Amino acid sequence: MVKLKLLIFDFGDVIGHFDIHHFDRFIKVNSGSSDKIRSFFKRNKPYFDRGHISERSFWINLGKTIESDIPWRAIAKNNQKNLMIDYRMVNLIKTIPLTKILLSNMDKTTVSQIKKEIDLQEIFDEVIFSCDIMKDKLDWDILNNICKKYNLNRKQVLFIDDFLGNIEKANKFGFQTIQFKNYELLLKEMAELKILQR
């Protein structure tokens, strides 16, 4: 097996998750519709994550979609309260003696909140959000640039993500992968790969 030299972590549902039920309650209290929210996010969130839609436009259009008079800044601010960080993961990543990159599809509103909660530069050697590069995190140009920058072949990189579709794309690119399911299982899988110092 090729020795690993670089780890790439996703953020959503790996290091942190989002309490969508909190957001639903906020919308319902203000006479919005959860079903319309789901539909709106499915259609528009990927573009927001890649920075192709501004924060203002995204939240204003959400308000229009759910036929709510809530000011767009109030919707955006409430969305920030949905962020839940798993500090076990933060502390675990800090202990790994390899180069670490955070690579995540994330919108500017959420990125702003994450940066208020944790010092990403203290945890990772590099932080890449899709909204900053205006591309999907698994764009092959991005992945090629990472390998070139750190002078690595693809098998020296481990990609950790919760979503199977992303794992499959990373495997196709040539990365080693772990599909994140829970903290305890990740510890076991990383120990098997001899990543963690014991």
Q: What is the pLDDT of residues 95-124, one digit of tens each?
A: 999 999 999 999 998 898 899 999 999 999
DSSP-derived 3-state class of residue 39: helix
Residue 197 lies in a domain: no
What is the percent of the chain where pLDDT is above 70? 89
Helix (H) or strand (E) holding 20: helix 20-29
- Same domain, yes or no: 187 and 90: yes
- Same domain, yes or no: 70 and 96: no
Residue 73 has pLDDT above 60, yes or no: yes
Residue 1 lies in a domain: no
- Same domain, yes or no: 182 and 88: yes
DSSP-derived 3-state class of residue 179: strand
Domain count along the chain: 2
Residue 54 lies in a domain: yes
Strand partners of residue 179: 161
Residue 152 lies in a domain: yes
Residue 198 lies in a domain: no
- Same domain, yes or no: 167 and 126: yes
pLDDT per position as a tens digit, 29-63: 655 667 777 788 889 999 999 999 998 998 889 88
Residue 80 has pLDDT above 70, yes or no: no
pLDDT score of 23: 64
Domain end, chosen from 64, 80, 96, is at 80
- Same domain, yes or no: 11 and 55: no
Residue 142 lies in a domain: yes
Which is more confident, 198 or 93? 93
Q: Across all residues in the chain, what is the average pLDDT?
A: 89
Cα angle 62, 15, 56 (rounded to 5 degrees) comes to 20
Residue 146 has pLDDT above 90, yes or no: yes
- Same domain, yes or no: 39 and 72: yes
Q: CA 75 → CA 40, 72, 132, distances in Å?
A: 14, 5, 22
- Same domain, yes or no: 65 and 123: no
Residue 22 has pLDDT above 60, yes or no: no
Phi, psi of 97 (to 5 degrees): -85, 40
Give every CB contact of residue 134 below 8 A, 6+ residues apart in sequence.
50, 51, 52
- Same domain, yes or no: 94 and 34: no
- Same domain, yes or no: 170 and 109: yes
pLDDT score of 197: 60
The mean pLDDT of 72-85, rounded to a whole number, is 76
What is the total residue count of the chain?
Answer: 198
Domain end, chosen from 48, 80, 112, is at 80
Residue 174 lies in a domain: yes
Q: CA 10 → CA 25, 54, 106, 167, distances in Å?
A: 27, 22, 10, 11
Residue 75 lies in a domain: yes
pLDDT score of 145: 97
What is the percent of the chain where pLDDT is above 90? 65
- Same domain, yes or no: 89 and 144: yes
